[in-house]
Each structure stands twice: as C-alpha cells, then as structure tokens.
Copies of this chain bind each other. A is one copy, B any other.
C-alpha cells in the first residue's frame, strides 16, 4: 500500500560520548522514511528544507526509492537545525540549539497523488499542521501519528483534536504519562484508547516497546546492544520499521501489528548503532532479517 510520511528534515549537530557530527542529515521524516524504505517502495515524503540543504541528500532519498515530489525547498530560509548533546549515560540530552528556519513555514498542500495515500505517518510536528494534513486526505486506510511533550504541554487542545482522527499513536513513556496523567504505563495506554486511537504504541527506549489495543497487550524487549552510539532518531526509525512493515504486508490484523512492532524494534536498534542516520542509511537487507530472527530468539521461550 502507498505510504506517505510527513515531518521534519533537518541538519543536525550531535554530540555523544563517542564523538561529534556537524550538520548531518536528520529530522523525523528523514528517519521514518529511510527506515520504511527497507520495506516498501511505494513511499513518499512531504516536508520542507532550506536553500542550504545538500542536493546529494535529496539524491540519497531518491536512491532509497522515496518519492520526493512533495519536498519543498525554501529560497528564503535555511534548513531546520538542531544541536543536541547527550550526557554520559545516553539517557538524557541537552538541546543546545533549535533553529526552525524553513520549518517554521511548513504548511503543506498535498498533491492529488499524496491526498490519495493509503497509509499516512504523521511525524512529530505541530498538531495544527497534523490536523490540516489529515483534513486533506481522501480516504486513508490508516493514519499513524507521533507527538511530543512540547505539543502536549503547549497545544493540548489541538493534540486531543488530532488524536480523535488517528488510528495509531506512537509515543514514548513520558509522553504517554503526560498525555493521560497516568503514571502506570498500562493505565496510560488504555487511557489513550479513550482519546481516539484504536492502538497505542509506547516506546520505552532500552526497555523496549508495548502495544496496547482494546483486546491486546504485547511487549517487545529492545534488542540487547552492548554499545549505543547515538540514540537520535531511534523512535522515528522504530515508527518507520513499524509502518513500513504494515505497508508492505497490507494487513492490519492484531497479529501483524505485533510483527510490525518487532520490525520497528529491529530498525531502532540498527539506528542507534551509528551516528545520526548512519546506522540505517545503507544496510543490507540480510542484516535486517538476521536481526529480526535474533530478536525472536531472545523473546522465544521454547
């Protein structure tokens, strides 16, 4: 099924205990679409970049069979720039700079082709923009969205309006708690189901992920890694693996959603093994499949 990914494209400067990279390709749409591109080639992105965005990075996205016709290039503004520095334990980070630049003017008008997308993944952007995009869609079969603390605290009413219109929400544990005022994650997940989505997926970083729907609770551990080089984009890589698998398999059954959570976990684990996008920028399909099988072994009790 055709998959449309909407979100940010950025040039990130990232510091971790293992090193520093400046103005490297990042952004939610970048991670989601690159990750999903290992599963489907009926894949489009909609986003905005600035006049300084390296053309070879657009070529890179095209090389992943991603349709970039919905990529707006601003003549007036630079590309969204984020500068983050991770603490020694990698679980916390400081945002040293957040320069929205062109992204502050992101207000997409979808082409007819994109309006007719069957599956839509709304990366973490302003919920007002997420709603505008949803309202442009013709008859999507599945809409998945991400959001974050910044929007939940800053525009709660718009976040709640958006939630009413999406089928699947993907958030991390602190976002799930903030969204629902429930400290217990299982309660938080069930409370999210009362806000609109049929499925809540809660990401717990090194502790894996849990999928909660009316009839199902399903947990997946994180893939056990001895080194994490850069957690940036792990959540978006997860979302890309998840939604990429759904697009490829064309199946919304509960059991297939579970498999999608496992594929998402695989892509997140590959992502954190490289700086920024490098962990998933160019991987052999066999590596992905081997890791999937290894993760099943780790979960397997027989």
Question: A residues bordering B, Cβ < 8 Å?
Answer: 89, 183-187, 190, 204, 206-208, 210, 217-221, 224-228, 255, 258-259, 262, 296, 298-302
- Chain B residues, Cβ within 8 Å of A224: 185-186, 210, 217, 219
A–B complex contacts, Cβ < 8 Å, 9 sampled: A89-B183, A207-B207, A210-B224, A217-B224, A219-B298, A221-B221, A255-B301, A262-B301, A299-B301
- CA–CA, A221 to B255, complex, Å? 18
Which B residues are in CB contact (< 8 Å) with A301?
Answer: 218, 220, 255, 258-259, 262, 296, 299
Q: Find out whether the CB atom of A218 lies under 8 angstroms from the CB atom of B186.
A: no
Query: How far apart sit A64 and B296, CA to CA, in the bound complex (Å)?
Result: 38
For A300, list chain B residues within 8 Å (CB): 218
**B298 adjacent to A226 (CB under 8 Å):** no
Residue from the list B187, B206, B208 in contact with A221, Cβ < 8 A: B208
- Which chain B residues border A185 with CB–CB below 8 Å? 206, 224
Alpha-carbon separation in the docked complex, A255 to B302 (Å): 6
A222 to chain B: closest residue by CB: B219
CB distance B298 to A217 under 8 Å? yes
Task: Look across to chain B and name the residue whose beta carbon is closest to the beta carbon of A190.
Answer: B226
CB-CB nearest in chain B for A255: B302
Decide if A184 touches B226 in the complex (CB within 8 Å).
Answer: yes
**Distance of A58 from chain B, by nearest CB (Å):** 37
Give A292 Cβ to nearest chain B Cβ, in Å.
Answer: 11
Query: Which residue of chain B has its CB nearest to the CB of A207?
Result: B207
A138 to chain B minimum Cβ distance, whole angstroms, is 33
The complex places the Cα of A258 from the Cα of B302 at a distance, in Å, of 8
Q: In angstroms, how far is the closest chain B Cβ from the Cβ of A257?
A: 10
Residues of B with C-beta under 8 A to A208: 207, 219, 221
A89: B residues at CB distance < 8 A: 183
Task: Give chain B nearest CB distance to A87 CB in angstroms.
Answer: 11
Partner of A227, one of B184, B217, B299: B184
- Which of A217, A224, A262 has the largest count of B CB atoms less than 10 A from its CB? A224
Tell me the nearest residue of chain B to A219, going by C-beta: B221
Is the CB–CB distance between A186 and B225 below 8 Å?
Answer: yes
Cα A187 to Cα B296 with chains together (Å): 20
A9 to B196, CA, bound (A): 50
* A221 CA / B206 CA spacing, docked (Å): 12
A261: nearest chain-B partner, CB-CB: B301
The closest CB in chain B to the CB of A183 belongs to B89
- How many angstroms from the CA of A135 to the CA of B206 in the assembled complex? 39
Q: Please report the C-alpha to C-alpha distance between residue A235 and residue B240 in the assembled complex, in whole angstroms.
A: 37
